[in-house]
Amino acid sequence: FNLDYYTEVLDLSYLLDHLASDPFFRHYRQLNEKLVQLIEDYSLVSFIPLNIQDKESIQRVLQAVDKANGYCFGVQEQRSLEAMMSAAMGADFHFSSTLGIQEKYLAPSDQTVEQEAMQL
């Protein structure tokens, strides 16, 4: 699989099944289903690859953390509704960053998935 397969949360149904097995969370099944649907529909969870020796990688992670905790809406910056919405809803395409990391650190494979599975 490509690196972006591991950085994007595509399907959380396995989490619902796990929560349903717990007696405490069984009572909140509908709430958990709605939360999972919300997370999947709006891509609220993703993972950013980090290489501690790469300044660009660290900067991408810091920008994501600052945006997530609201630091990008600091006191010194303009606090208009349009500025906040553009920062909050801005398109963050992690594909280019994960593709760059994948090309840099992972060796390309000419084998198909079936051939790799046969080697296991």
SS3 78: coil
Query: pLDDT-based confidence at 66, cuts 50/70/90?
Result: confident
Tell me if 115 is assigned to some domain: no
What is the average per-residue pLDDT within 63-79? Answer: 70
C-alpha distances (whole Å) from 101 to each of 2, 6, 24, 35, 52 are 11, 13, 41, 31, 12
The count of domains in the chain is 2
Burial class (CB in 10 A: 0-12, 13-18, 19+), 98: buried
Residue 59 and residue 14 share a domain = no
Residue 34 and residue 82 share a domain = no
Residue 41 and residue 7 share a domain = yes
Q: What is the pLDDT of residues 1-35, one digit of tens each?
A: 677 777 777 788 888 888 888 888 888 999 999 99
Residue 101 and residue 56 share a domain = yes
| Of residues 92, 102, 84, 83, the one with CA closest to residue 60 | 92
Over pLDDT 90: what percentage of the chain?
Answer: 9
> Which residue range forms the structural domain that includes residue 92?
51-109
SS3 110: coil
Residue 57 and residue 33 share a domain = no
- How far is it, in rounded angstroms, from Cα 78 to Cα 58? 26
